[in-house]
Amino acid sequence: MKCTCQIEIEHYEGDDEECEMIFEKSLTICKNHRACCECGIRLLPGTSYQKEIVRYDESVSTYRTCMDCLSIRNNIFCGWTWTCLLDDLYAEIEEGRDISESCMTALTKTAREKACEMIEERWRKTQNL
């Protein structure tokens, strides 16, 4: 089963220049061993994941995101981020930003456990434990 949409983004601002960016994403089933670009977990054959292909200027990048990291991206962040999702989440928590209860309950079980682990780590630091 494959659900696909294609989104064309008019301009991408990077390195002080604008360039056209084409973005394709699809929810797909893994056929070969792959790794999540966010957490590094191995995506085994038969596992669902989000595949995103970004074409800009002369380059093409493919990002594969496991369902747990996708859950964090879709429920906590507005927009997208690749390869630094967990770092971004940790930085938000370290800065003391609260994650709403509705966002936390919308996460997958594993994603919620990762977020709670980060929150508890910050709490321990603030309590000098």
DSSP 97: P
Taking only the tens place, the pLDDT of each residue in 87-105 is: 999 998 998 888 888 889 9
What predicted TM-score, i.e. pTM, was given to this entire model?
A: 0.79
pLDDT higher than threshold 60 for residue 11: no
pLDDT higher than threshold 60 for residue 41: yes
What is the pLDDT, as a whole number, of residue 43? Answer: 96
What is the pLDDT, as a whole number, of residue 18? Answer: 53
Spatial separation of the C-alpha atoms in residues 124 and 129, rounded to whole Å: 5
More confident residue, 104 or 19: 104
Spatial separation of the C-alpha atoms in residues 28 and 9, rounded to whole Å: 22
